[in-house]
Structure 1
């Protein structure tokens, strides 16, 4: 028996997910829903977009859906951003709920299961037309400085999610604990796509090949999670180690202190195949984050990809990272990583069997079984379930 499903993005769209290679946890869950024989009709909903942005995107033809979901909606409104006043936020998501309900009816969905990656939608949409609701948390939004103006709304949303006994799947126990759901809950850490990582190592991209070794790499958005001062200290302590920062940098001023450091190399974000090639041609990997409430709650996707590439990992000590693999070495801080990097380089990469075993044990397919079990539960089943803090 199949279940109809509604999936909603948080602040980005299906087109955004395609543009980044469907690589973030919500994108991967959507891929699983799109391919699962347990899912009947699937409706995918983008967040609200302003009329102006929808017109501009249509002109650019940047939302092409080739091979995408059959039912995809982008609700339109005048405003470009959500309001910050709580009562206005509630009204906004009541209106979003109306759009979802109408779209589900047009698509012929019958009492669908809802999976949403937006805590405000999970909390403030009514969803009286749905059978069950599951919130998937990839970050602790209440700790995100980039969304600080919405913290009061997120705090209210977490309380409402808990009080409403909505199902919660999250990438870390820390997110589960901060929401404290009264309904069923499951921790679903990040994973890897075996098809990307199996087989012999591809050739290094030319820009990476020009950087001498040994090479230590950090991948991801270069923002305030990265400990810039710590990276500078590590580079000074080990001038023969070449540190590669690979990823988009929204604020170029943030890494100004690293621009004249000769053994630190910044490169903009690349496609998935090039990212895999870069990782598989480095010697050690870094999780050189600042320790904040946000980083303490995230399941760093990059660590799983580092290990899938066969790289030893040197990380600051964060709870979600502690039990990932024995080849993760912990340093008190980024500025104190030098001897731990020496140790990781001396031990060398994971051997072939270690790498293959890690990939098999941490595939997205194995991760998403728990998500499907939670999301596709029936309301009758949900009444008999108790919170599960895995």
Structure 2
């Protein structure tokens, strides 16, 4: 049943994260949209009360020594951080269990706030699917990715998307592709973004990068099957001798990169601290977004960061990449990257004025205003 509209004012926003906790986000540099939204919601004084909710985790994790605790979400009592627990481990992927877990969380959150004056926002599709629309002022699903890609969860998330539509949940997504996949009546696209201040003081590049010499085609991000590895193999084979293809990021699916790693002009490195990654972007000759077509639902942070760093970009021609900048060259899936990489390296780089304009247009302060308007109507 869909809730009857109410005129009670919104005083509270609850944001329930999906799949990754606040601590998880801080450990990888707080660069992605959930934590950017959470931080701005925390600092938004037009919201009387804000509650950040971690995904449900196992009680057993408390029995093991952990890494040092990250900084707290807030010290202001009107800004809270809940860390719900259950005894079982792992993210449930079977529907009955997942629904039970998220319904318990929904009831707990209803007891914690006055739901009649609260908008519940969640990035967990199952919570969005089962949250009681008759109780909450409104329910919104913030889809910062297409969560059908979560391991072993495609069927569960597909079911949740259908429930989101049936229950008239408000959908705010990072791409039009996700909006279209879900098909909700109420929907808004708010793409990914950057923080302009991150680029104002450039760190030194790592010593190994400085020692490369020659020209560099650079990729930063998780090393997984979302990358068009065949396109990168062709690129490595096609590049002139003075070029090195560099990939930096956590290796999540090493079996995908075995052949690429054998190329003499390919260097694959583990994740580096975020300031050093931004510095490498800024000095690379060309930065790359070689994604497979199945990633069209993504709003890749890296393309915004590359352009925010002033680098020329060559990317697979997918809808989220289009119209961002004249310094972002698009290549059809299946076409070879090398001609555009060489043309991008030979062409003029973005001017300081162009880079500053791009940063301002895509800064998270501006993105958050669009997100808040979509969630709260103001």
TM norm structure 2: 0.91
Question: Following the alignment from structure 2 to structure 1, what is the Cα–Cα distance between the partners of residues 334 and 341?
Answer: 10
Equivalent residues in 2 for 1:136-147 (5 A)?
Answer: 136-142=142-148, 144=149, 146-147=150-151
CA contact (8 A) 2:194 2:364 kept: yes
Range with greater deviation from structure 2 (110-119 or 210-219): 110-119
Distance in 2 of aligned mates of 1:137 and 1:193:
20
Match of residue 355 from structure 2? 355
- In structure 2, what is the equivalent of residue 154 of structure 1? 157
Residue 207 of structure 1 is matched in structure 2 by 208
Aligned-partner SS, 1:168: strand
User: Which of 187, 197, 206 is equivalent to 2:189?
Assistant: 187
Q: How does 1:1-390 map to 2 (within 5 A)?
A: 3-56=11-64, 59-60=65-66, 62-66=68-72, 68=74, 70-104=79-113, 111-126=117-132, 128-142=134-148, 144=149, 146-147=150-151, 149-183=152-186, 185-198=187-200, 201-238=202-239, 239-292=241-294, 295-333=295-333, 336-377=336-377
**Superposed displacement of residue 341, structure 1:** 0.7
Cα distance between partner residues in 2 of 1:37 and 1:213: 50
CA deviation map 1:145-194 (0-9, x unaligned): x42x32222122111111222111111001001111122x2111111101
Q: Could you tell me how far 1:2 is from its partner in structure 2?
A: 7.2
SS in 2 for 1:60: coil
Using CA pairs under 8 Å that are at least 6 residues apart, name the structure with larger relative contact order, 1 or 2. 1
SS of the residue corresponding to residue 37 of structure 2 reads helix
Task: Quote the offset at 1:117 in angstroms.
Answer: 0.9
Q: Name stretches of at least 5 consecutive residues in structure 1 with no aligned partner.
A: 379-390
Q: Give distance in 2, aligned partners of 1:219 and 1:334.
A: 21
Contact persistence 1:234–1:336 (CA under 8 A): yes
**1:65–1:55 CA distance, 2 compared to 1 (3 A):** farther
Kindly state the Cα deviation for residue 80 of structure 1 after the two structures are TM-superposed.
1.3
8 Å contact 1:231–1:288 — kept in the other structure? yes
Mapped contact 2:195–2:364 kept (Cα < 8 A):
yes
Going from structure 1 to structure 2, the CA distance change for 1:179 and 1:159 (only over 3 Å counts) comes to: same
Cα distance change on mapping 1:305 and 1:104 into 2, 3 Å? same
Looking at structure 1, the residues matched to 346 and 283 of structure 2 have their Cα atoms a distance apart, in angstroms, of 16
Conservation of the 8 A alpha-carbon contact between 1:203 and 1:281: no
In 1: Cα distance, 2:117 partner to 2:238 partner:
60
Distance in 1 of aligned mates of 2:136 and 2:91: 24
Q: Distance in 2 between matches of 1:281 and 1:327?
A: 15
Residues 180-212 of structure 1, C-alpha deviations (whole Å, 9 max, x = no match): 1122x211111110101136x443221210112
CA distance in 1 between partners of 2:285 and 2:310 (Å): 9
Verify the 8 A CA contact 2:217 2:246 in the aligned structure 1.
Answer: yes
User: Structure 2: how far apart are the matches of 1:39 and 1:196?
Assistant: 26
Kept in 2: contact 1:122–1:133 (CA 8 A): yes
Determine the C-alpha separation between the residues in 1 that align with 2:185 and 2:377: 16
Q: Does the 8 Å contact 1:93/1:121 carry over to 2?
A: yes
Q: Deviations over 1:255-289 (max 9, x none)?
A: 11122212111111122211111111211111112
Distance 1:356 1:166 in 2: 37
Give the alignment's Cα RMSD to 1 decimal: 2.0
